[in-house]
């Protein structure tokens, strides 16, 4: 029984290492050549595996790209940020935490998010579906931030809950980071500070610093 368990664990570890090698090779190739410029055969060669192994371990090219994107969509910073937001009683801290959390998720996965999905977006329906899910999840997270601001009675009378979600998306959504960091070459520190300040001005009844 012990020998069988050891063998089983070794196989699991080997399969995980193979999958990681495939994803790492695909990540590097996609960034270097673009999604369309890479074949499954080239991914297999770079990962030192056979082509059938790529399919059995991860799947087709869209499946590989989806697997590469998944860590960005499930980054623990998202849940940690929302927990901190819902525990805070200060509206400015709520927005500062949101700016920090969205900064972390973009910064950790910047190469993939900006270089591949924004600058050279793959035209795969399966990948678009994953990106759409990511956008929906992002809006849901910002909705929880807006909920907290409403609970704290922080919004101006002219800003509805729905508008608060829209304003959070404008100031702290993905396009804010892509524009400031990617297109205008701001540092993440500078972008985080500015987006937090601008979101406070747009969303909070109390405009004082």
Q: Tell me: the pLDDT tens digits for 163-199?
A: 999 999 999 999 999 999 999 999 999 999 999 999 9
Task: Mark out the alpha helices in 88-122 (DSSP H runs).
Answer: 91-108, 110
Contact indicator for 172, 99 with CB cutoff of 8 Å: yes
The predicted pLDDT at position 178 comes to 95
Q: What are the residue boundaries of the structural domains of the chain, listed by start? A: 2-59, 70-203
Task: Please write the tens of the pLDDT for every residue from 149-165.
Answer: 999 999 999 999 999 99
Model pTM score? 0.84
Tokens of residue 70, six digits = 């998944």
Q: What phi, psi does 38 have (nearest 5°)? A: -125, 140
Inform me whether the pLDDT recorded for 42 exceeds 90: yes
Tokens of residue 146, six digits = 């807006």
With pLDDT > 90 as the criterion, what percentage of the chain qualifies? 71
Angle between helices 161-172 and 188-203 (to 10 degrees): 160
Q: Is residue 113 within a helix (H) or strand (E), and if so which, with residue range? A: none
Residue reference for tokens 């927990």: 83
Question: Which CATH number is 2-59's, of 1.10.10.60, 3.40.50.700, 1.20.1600.10, 1.20.210.10?
Answer: 1.10.10.60
Sign of CA dihedral 154, 158, 161, 163: negative
């Amino acid at each position: 029984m012990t020998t069988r368990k050891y063998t089983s664990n070794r196989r699991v570890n080997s399969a995980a290492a193979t999958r990681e090698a495939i994803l790492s090779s695909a990540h590097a190739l996609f960034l270097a050549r673009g999604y369309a410029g890479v074949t499954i055969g080239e991914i297999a060669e770079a990962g030192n595996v056979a082509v059938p192994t790529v399919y059995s371990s991860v799947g087709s090219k869209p499946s590989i790209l989806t697997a590469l994107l998944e860590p960005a969509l499930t980054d623990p910073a998202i849940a940690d940020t929302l927990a901190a937001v819902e525990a805070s009683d200060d509206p400015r801290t709520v927005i500062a935490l949101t700016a920090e959390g969205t900064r972390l998720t973009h910064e950790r996965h910047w190469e993939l998010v900006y270089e591949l999905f924004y600058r050279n977006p793959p035209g795969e329906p399966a990948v678009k579906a994953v990106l759409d899910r990511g956008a929906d999840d992002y809006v849901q997270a910002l909705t929880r931030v807006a909920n907290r601001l409403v609970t704290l009675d922080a919004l101006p009378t002219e800003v509805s809950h729905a508008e608060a979600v829209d304003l959070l998306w404008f100031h702290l959504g993905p396009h804010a980071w892509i524009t400031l960091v990617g297109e205008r070459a701001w540092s993440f520190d500078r972008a985080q500070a500015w987006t937090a300040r601008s979101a406070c001005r747009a969303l909070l009844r109390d405009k004082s610093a």
